[in-house]
A and B are shown apart, each in its own frame.
Chain A
Amino acid sequence: MTGTTTAAVVLTHDAPHPHAFTRAEVGWLPWLEPLSVDELTERHYDGLVDRPRASSDYFRLLVRDPEILRARTLVDKDIFYNTAEGLPRAERELAATAASRVNGCVFCASVHARFATHFSKAPELVDRLLVEGIDADLGERWNAIVAAAAALTATPLAFDETHVERLRAVGLDDLEISDVIHGAAFFNWANRLMLSIGRPVAPPEDAS
């Protein structure tokens, strides 16, 4: 690997935890030392994909394994940002938020709830999902997407042909259903990664 070989030190942080799921700017602190900017080589920057990500503790910790970070970043961007066809961005973000809500990743849920809100212009529906959880009534189209994302997040895996039928019934085609599957499944990666190697911090307005 590319990082230091000295024994790892687990960091401690006094910063307050968030109170609950929120669209506010939740912070994040790493449990292990990120690489310093001075240590980054071209191999690391290749892993970061976007050079500005070098300013993030999260990405400088993940870049200890540049190859998996690079592939993860590229699959993430394609699943969420490639909207030339397929599911509207708002509903990809909805699937991400629902998976994060089920797994309990308050940081991930906050980021993707903000995206879902931005692209849907429906803050009250997104907030209902955050507050009430996956049984919130968001209208049948969003309910079907949330139910599919939740079933994909459950263990044992609960997603089956009834979820596909429900998505078809609200108008999703094959590619759009595939987008729901990939968006929700990807957050089963993102949530675990984020929760494993660091922890969320209360947004500034909650910290008092």
Chain B
Amino acid sequence: MTTSELIDVVDDLVGVRAGDPLDALRRRRPVTRDQLQASYDALFAPLDDTAFPLDERVLVAAFATRSTADDATAAFYADAAAAVDARRTEIVLAEASAAATAGPFGAYREDGLVGESTEGRRYEPGIAARDALGERLTAALAHAHLLTFRPREADAAAQTRLVDAGWSADGVVTLSQLVSFLAFQQRVAAGLRALAPSVAVSAPVVAESVETSASPEEVSA
């Protein structure tokens, strides 16, 4: 996947065009906008991908986002993965569709929260997927599903599984960042899509910036 400073992925996912009210709104938080994109760049145009090669990154991304939603974000990463490896992308997307479920759920380890534990559908890659994708990538998919749907159940055994499948500490860190970042990016895009229609209708940005005043309850950090 190639990236450019001229491309903002969230704008692409939300359908924001230059000069839209939502474009103006996003540019009122330029650091957030820029560093969200910089996060994407750090993960998908890394300086060094030795510990977590780029082809694996886009395949895991396609899996995590598609198992969360069938939306623009999922389509974006599915396309990115297909451009790298169409055969494995097809398998990964089939796994994602089969593994899609509701969350977050899971058992609490905290004894005072056991009553809040909930059940759901856990994902275990089948033999066909493991044969086609290898133990290392299927271990990453299993971890991605764990973090996506039942993060409260992430534990030492989950880390051991990754290590046993050949993941280094550096790789586990980047894998965890990648899946977790995608949960953020996909939600920002979905949230802004829900916000967009009423920004366009009800709030000309120039007028709004005049109306905005410090709230009395605001306290500096």
* Residues of chain A whose beta carbon lies under 8 Å from any beta carbon of chain B: 1-5, 7-12, 17-21, 31-33, 61-62, 64-65, 67-72, 74-75, 77-83, 85-86, 88-90, 102-106, 119-120, 133, 152-157, 159-161, 163-165, 168, 173-175, 177-178, 181-182, 184-186, 188-193, 195-197, 199
> How many Å from the CB of B98 to the closest CB on chain A?
15
A181 touches B28 (CB 8 A): no
A182 touches B188 (CB 8 A): yes
Chain B contacts for A102, CB-based, 8 A: 104
Chain B contacts for A11, CB-based, 8 A: 156
Which interface residue of A133, A191, A192 has the most chain B CB atoms within 10 A? A192
> How many Å from the CB of A97 to the closest CB on chain B?
15
Chain B contacts for A77, CB-based, 8 A: 31
Asked if B128 is at the interface (CB within 8 A of a chain A CB), the reply is: no
Query: Of the 9-residue stretches B1-9, B42-50, B79-87, which lies at the interface with chain A?
Result: B42-50
* Residues of chain B whose beta carbon lies under 8 Å from any beta carbon of chain A: 21, 25-26, 28-29, 31-32, 35-36, 38-39, 41-43, 46-48, 50-51, 68-69, 71, 101-104, 106, 108-113, 116, 143, 147-149, 151-152, 154-156, 158-160, 163, 167-174, 176-181, 183-184, 186-188, 190-192, 194-195, 197-199, 202-203, 205, 208-209, 211-212, 214-215, 217-221
Partner of B110, one of A1, A12, A19, A33: A19
On whether A155 and B208 interact (CB within 8 A), knowing A105-B152, A161-B197, the answer reads no
Given contacts A104-B104, A196-B151, 13 further A-B contacts (CB under 8 A): A19-B110, A64-B174, A65-B42, A67-B46, A68-B177, A68-B178, A83-B221, A153-B187, A155-B149, A175-B212, A178-B192, A185-B188, A188-B183
Give CA–CA (A113, B170) in the complex, Å: 31
On whether A156 and B68 interact (CB within 8 A), knowing A75-B39, A102-B104, A195-B154, the answer reads yes
Chain B contacts for A81, CB-based, 8 A: 221
Chain A contacts for B197, CB-based, 8 A: 161
Chain A contacts for B101, CB-based, 8 A: 155
> How many Å from the CB of A155 to the closest CB on chain B?
4
Partner of B215, one of A31, A88, A160, A177: A88
A181 touches B159 (CB 8 A): no
Give CA–CA (A65, B44) in the complex, Å: 13
Give CA–CA (A114, B163) in the complex, Å: 35
A75 touches B147 (CB 8 A): no
Chain B contacts for A182, CB-based, 8 A: 29, 32, 188, 191
Give CA–CA (A33, B174) in the complex, Å: 14
Main secondary structure of the interface of A (DSSP, over half): helix
Chain A's closest residue to B158 (CB) is A196
30 pairs, A vs B, C-beta closer than 8 Å: A7-B163, A7-B168, A8-B163, A8-B168, A8-B169, A10-B163, A68-B42, A75-B39, A78-B35, A88-B218, A90-B219, A104-B104, A104-B108, A105-B151, A106-B110, A119-B217, A119-B219, A153-B104, A153-B187, A155-B69, A155-B103, A157-B68, A159-B190, A164-B198, A174-B25, A174-B203, A181-B187, A184-B191, A185-B191, A192-B151
Give CA–CA (A189, B85) in the complex, Å: 27
A181 touches B32 (CB 8 A): no
A164 touches B174 (CB 8 A): no
> How many Å from the CB of A123 to the closest CB on chain B?
15
Chain A contacts for B156, CB-based, 8 A: 10-12, 31, 199
On whether A32 and B172 interact (CB within 8 A), knowing A72-B39, A89-B219, A182-B188, the answer reads yes
On whether A32 and B211 interact (CB within 8 A), knowing A119-B219, A188-B180, the answer reads no
Partner of B48, one of A1, A72, A79, A153: A1
